[in-house]
Amino acid sequence: MNPINSNRNLILVTGASGKFGQAVLKHLIETLSVPASRIVAASRNPANLATWAEKGVVTRELDFEKPETFNPAFADVERALLISTDTLDRPGRRLEQHQNAIKGFAEANVKHVVYTSAPNPEGAPLLIAPDHEGTERALAASSLSGWTVLRNHWYFENLFMSLPPALASGKWYTADEGKGSADIARDDLALAAATVLAGQEAGKNVYTLSGAESLTKVEIAAAVSEAVNKPLDVVQVPVQALVDGMVHAGVPEPVAQIFASFDANTAADRVAEVTGDFEHLTGRKPQPFRDWLAAHKAAL
């Protein structure tokens, strides 16, 4: 690990070994020309960040469940990105992790915290929404002088999970009642997070980062079917039938319930809104779905 930088204006990226964290680091350095020595990449396993350390990025250990890692990880940090974790094994555990982190940031006098939330988390039927809603509340209740909530819409990349089995059978089962979803490329969301981190934004703001358009699964299926030259029919089923189908395929029931709740959330029109917040923050248009598909169809 690198020695602690003497500057007091460091930028911290938590969860830096994950896919989002990696993309944020890339944008900070390559797109926004932030000097590597100003960036702290933190992970439960900093050994996974060796390639960033070689570029001059400061790498530190950070685990939201180990408060003893906080002081060394937060030293001299001015702006920090709190990437929501992937801990979904027990309801409430992820929220506790985020609450720990926010308390630690405030105690370390971090000036501005950026958080990766989800669209419309308040009272949503989405089973993971209470973690985001609770984290936003924790930010609001904290003594932090500034924070930016980025309500990230769903990644196009989530299609890498749902589409391969759908394309194999030719049937894409859903309980979304034909409603639309304004998804966006993960890399665009990482650019937005990096832009806020590297910038001067102060105060307390909430942005909703959607893609350029809201698409239904029928529209997505038509584009995908044409791109990969395979038939794909969208089949609407009740939420419980979707859960049963996943359980039958070997998905643990609590996980199936979470996945199905994404469709219930879409059916409740929670993710269809197209906003201009991505362009407002970055000065760029979000990547259109068809362009993303053309670049990624080989992986489907």
Task: Note whether 18 binds ligand NAP by CB under 6 A.
Answer: yes
CA distance 125 to 170: 28
Q: Which helix (H) or strand (E) holds 78?
A: strand 77-82
Please tell me the count of residues contacting ligand NAP according to CB under 6 A. 25
One of 2, 19, 111, 247 touching ligand NAP (CB under 6 A): 19
Task: Note whether 265 binds ligand NAP by CB under 6 A.
Answer: no
* Closer of 1 and 202 to ligand NAP (Cβ): 1
Give the closest residue to 198 by CA, choosing from 109, 277, 114, 92: 114
CB of 85 to ligand NAP, least distance (A): 4
Task: Note whether 155 binds ligand NAP by CB under 6 A.
Answer: yes
Q: What is the dihedral of CA 215, 218, 219, 224, to 10 degrees?
A: 120
One of 13, 17, 27, 174 touching ligand NAP (CB under 6 A): 17
Q: Which residues contact 130 (CB under 8 A, 6 or more apart)?
A: 91, 95, 121
Task: Note whether 64 binds ligand NAP by CB under 6 A.
Answer: yes
Q: Which residues contact 209 (CB under 8 A, 6 or more apart)?
A: 150, 151, 152, 153, 184, 188, 189, 192, 275, 277, 278, 281, 286
* Closer of 63 and 263 to ligand NAP (Cβ): 63
Which residues, numbered 85-114, are part of the site for ligand NAP (CB under 6 A)?
85-87, 97
Task: Note whether 175 binds ligand NAP by CB under 6 A.
Answer: no
Which parts of this chain interact with ligand NAP (CB under 6 A)?
14-21, 43-44, 62-65, 83-87, 97, 116, 152, 154-155, 158
